[in-house]
Amino acid sequence: EAQVTQNPRYLITVTGKKLTVTCSQNMNHEYMSWYRQDPGLGLRQIYYSMNVEVTDKGDVPEGYKVSRKEKRNFPLILESPSPNQTSLYFCASSFDREGSYEQYFGPGTRLTVT
């Protein structure tokens, strides 16, 4: 089954404790990205990757890191989480369909930083 998976689905952590949210897709997509969703602010892009070893900042990259060492994986790293990073996070992947991008989302990760 074609899918995007994320782990963990739920996480409660404390300020400053490094964490990684994994994302994996089995569709051989070149393009992957991370979004966060907050009430009143909608979905905002954090980072994206056009292919292996190619990453770039989205709209809200501060406090996050990513890596793209393999085509299927795109982990999101919070080196020193803070309470303002409490959010619902989505990983997405897509392919370039004739200049367009049909995107598929993972199930989401609810992160709470206390």
- Whole-angstrom Cα distance, residue 12 to residue 72? 26
Side-chain half-sphere CA neighbours of 55 within 13 A: 20
Out of 13, 20, 67, 105, name the contact with another protein by CB under 8 A: 105
Task: Say whether residue 94 binds another protein (CB under 8 A).
Answer: yes
Task: Say whether residue 90 binds another protein (CB under 8 A).
Answer: yes
> CA separation (Å) from 99 to 50, 91, 94, 113?
13, 21, 12, 38
CB of 80 to another protein, least distance (A): 25
Chain residues in the site for another protein (CB under 8 A) = 31, 33, 35, 42-43, 45, 48, 50, 58-59, 88, 90, 92, 94, 96-105, 107-108, 110
